[in-house]
Structure 1
Amino acid sequence: MTVPVKILAIMPGGMAGVEETGCIGKVVQDRGADLHWSFRLKGDALPEQTTQFDGLIVFGGEIGAHDPRYADYFDGLFRTIRAFHEDEKPVFGSCLGAQSIACALGGGAMPQGFFEFGFTELRVKPEAASDALLHDTPESIPLFEMHNDTLALPPGAVHLMHGDNIPNQVYRVGAKTYGFQCHFEAEREVVDIWLRRELSSETGHSEAEIADMAARMDREFAQFDAAQRAFGERVMNRWMDLF
């Protein structure tokens, strides 16, 4: 009997669980792996050793890896990320997860000065042609973005995809650690949840503005969703092949 792959799944922000993870959670579960959840909002402990798990996924969230209010939590998260990376176990970060990986490995995270939202055209760099996850990716593809912060690449990172407004979109450190600033896993229904939860409480986003964003998402998902789903499922299946 084959023992299932055990993946530690960390939720630093307000995401509820697998129902908000789109194709990331779907592919991992379809491949027979077990997700073991750690929620910051529930006070779940973060391991400093990797012995119980085969890999790590760090999801996104509305807080900042650079925010001093959450310094204690992120210090622990950075230690966990370093442990998995040093043990050469597959690591995947989405949005805040990608920023956290960058910080943990010697890069950084910081406010970018504007809110990047919606589908953004991302382009592959030459290094992607030989990458385990991104080989055969089209030269450019629109992928969903929703973030106020950006990241500085850690030393030794391989830059794989870039955008016009935010250059550091996808990177790899070593053979098995990946950061994706974009939310390629996003589904239309999930974006509605994120809009209400993460923007309605922020200053500068009125109900009318949120309604406009939702209408924009109806248009953009109708146009780009199929290509994004295909990209996301291909990337996550290839990441699962790393185990």
Structure 2
Amino acid sequence: MNVHFVIHEAFEAPGAYETWVRDRGHTATYSRVYVHEPLPSSASDFDMLVVLGGPQSPTTTRAECPHFDAAAECALIRQAVDAERAVVGVCLGAQLIGTALGAPHAHSPEKEIGVFPITLTAAGQAHPMFAGFPQTLLTGHWHSDMPGLTPTAQVLASSEGCPRQIIAYGPRVYGFQCHMEFTPQVVALLIDATAGDFAALTGHRFVQQPPALLANDYSEMNRLLFSFLDALASATQQRQA
């Protein structure tokens, strides 16, 4: 299986997604748009598309961020959905999936930065891709916005600070507002990139400061992410067979 990553910034790294690709013997290709690497010309170039996060939003213009082309990414996502590829969006990536399918992103009720619990909804508990998940689990967070909902989208998990944490847009299309791919190395990159922002965030109830961020254990959320990705890869390969 070939997994293609769209990476918006060097500090928004694939983390545990890349570990899963390597450990499962899959191949990875990349569009590092922050160094102007092109997007795939066709969804036939990959089996799974993973669109990562970034400080941009789906409404960010080329004038505001010359290396980020939201319209082109939405077109690629739409093509991948139509071609029945697996598509996973993380944070900004999840918001881009919603936008590509006609559901604009929204502002989250709370800013979340750190590790906080999410809870599977009834739909999430019944969903085959999340069969190994506990009802409540700790995941990473680093956001102020959340994905839009299409008429057929299912919210599979929510948190106290954000009602849209995991969304199923289709049988092989998923948006994760939460960051289950976080590792200590990825979090350190994010802290270095945004260190000046933390002083202004004191008092936010869902924001951890850098020492707590670095002390978190990310291994269990990574393990659960691998379980989801295994199930998604299996379903995708069976569909393609």
TM over 0.5, shorter chain: yes
Shift of 1:121: 1.3
What does residue 205 of structure 2 align with? none
Q: How does 1:1-243 map to 2 (within 5 A)?
A: 5-15=1-11, 20-68=13-61, 69-70=64-65, 73-112=69-108, 114-197=110-193, 199-200=194-195, 204-206=197-199, 213-219=209-215, 221-222=216-217, 225-242=218-235, 243=237
Preserved CA contact (<8 Å) 1:200 1:207:
no
Structure 2 Cα separation of the partners of residues 208 and 89 of structure 1:
39
**Mean CA deviation greater in 81-90 or 154-163:** 154-163
Structure 2 Cα separation of the partners of residues 208 and 139 of structure 1:
29
1:176-216: per-residue Cα shift (whole Å, max 9, x none)? Answer: 0111111111012321111111x136xx534997xx71211
Structure 1 Cα separation of the partners of residues 219 and 48 of structure 2:
28
Q: How many residues align?
A: 228
Preserved CA contact (<8 Å) 1:28 1:236:
no
Amino acid at match of 2:38: A
The CA RMSD over aligned residues, in Å, is 2.3
Change over 3 Å in CA distance of 1:103–1:136 after alignment to 2: same
Q: Percent identity?
A: 21
Shift of 1:48: 4.9
1:119-166: per-residue Cα shift (whole Å, max 9, x none)? Answer: 121111111233232123211111110112222212311111111111
The unaligned stretches of length 5 or more in structure 2 are 203-207
Change over 3 Å in CA distance of 1:33–1:184 after alignment to 2: same
Amino acid at match of 1:200: A
Change over 3 Å in CA distance of 1:215–1:91 after alignment to 2: same
